[in-house]
Amino acid sequence: MFSGKTSQSQGAITNICFSAFALINRQYKKQKARSFYKARAFSVLGLSFLLCHVFVGTAYGEQQYPSRLWKIEHPKQETRPSYLLGTMHLSDKDIVNLPPHIDSVVARTDSLAIEVKLDQKAQKSLAELSALRGNKTLSDLIGSDTFQRIVSLLQPRGMSPLGLQRLKPWAVALMLNYPPPSLDPVLDYSLQLRFKRNKKPIYQLETAEEQIQLFDSMSVENQVGFLMHSLVQQRHFDMYLLAMKRLYIEDDLDGLQALANSQMDEVEQPFLQDLFRRLIEERNIKMANRMGIHLQSGNSLIAVGALHLTGNKGLIQLLRYRGYNVTPVLPFTASSVQAQ
């Protein structure tokens, strides 16, 4: 088990919003031979976050959040139920290949709403907003020694020093907070491709610009602080990723929430505390408002990062406050779901 404020805080930073990692994975495949554009292959966070090496085990009867899939119904609406799926923004097959009871629900839904649709417009916005303006370079902002350390970490992933020099500090920080780019789609983009193949409508709850602005609005000083914070975390990265996957696959959303709370409590920098609040709480309210139209249509699948579901200010509670019945879909209830 890792201890200390530095190691505990990475999980709360990583994977907070969706667009960038999957979006850039897609762009990385298309522009792999062009070094400047390969430098865009960073993650703008999704929101199943990287966690420290702590595992919280609870019995189903004690869990508030025992599933990554939730059924949404309103007693005053006659529309068919919709479903809320907590995702992890990784391309790992253990994540992308859904359990049968979840896959059967996904197959039966009529539409998909995800955080951000991955398309050329989103890629263009990301490329434009992540680039430094004027003659400033990344090494000008962080120093040549720190820049060379970043090159040593990211060049093996296909990132050229020239491309890295032109990126804003927040963009490089997010690259450090995610696994190397994969040629396989992350879960959210895999769902987008699946619904597209089946000619079912796909919607987004946010725009890429909205997500990117959360980071781009930070001062240069705070962007550099975010980058330095992320750089320190690298020695524990693999263990964080392993812990995150295990908790998610075991449907231990309570464990994820407990760890996230613990990690955020350890962060002392005010600008990072404010970033976490905006990344989670403010976006939850926005997404809850925007998913209303899809819930009214009925039989919609809403797929967002798993950490958006939990807590008093999470989507499950926000929907309950608005009169919806939100209940977990468990393997032993799958037959009743299929009958609807």
Residue 225: both structure tokens together: 């602080």
Name the residue with higher pLDDT: 150 or 242.
150
Q: What is the pTM of this model?
A: 0.83
pLDDT, tens digit (0-9, with 9 covering 90-100), for 77-134: 899 999 999 999 888 999 999 999 999 999 999 999 999 998 888 888 888 899 999 9
| pLDDT score for 237 | 77
Interatomic CA distance for residues 198 and 204, integer angstroms: 17
**Strand locations in the chain, DSSP E?**
69-73, 82-87, 111-114, 202-204, 300-305, 325-328
Inter-axis angle of helices 120-130 and 208-216, to 10 degrees? 10
d(CA 91, CA 101): 20
Q: Residue 281 — pLDDT band, cuts 50, 70, 90? A: very high
Contact criterion met (CB below 8 Å) for 240 and 51:
yes
Which is more confident, 318 or 31?
318
Residue 118: the pLDDT is 82
The average pLDDT across 238-248 equals 82
Distance between CA atoms of residues 331 and 216, nearest Å: 41
Distance of CA 31 to the CA centre of its chain: 23
Rounded distance, CA 245 to CA 340, Å? 31
Q: What percent of the chain has pLDDT over 90?
A: 55
β-pair partners for 7: none
The answer for 179, left when phi > 0, alpha when psi is -120 to 50, beta otherwise, is beta
Of 106, 110, 115, give the one whose Cα is nearest residue 295: 110
184 touches 84 (CB < 8 A) = no
Between 151 and 257, residue with greater pLDDT: 151
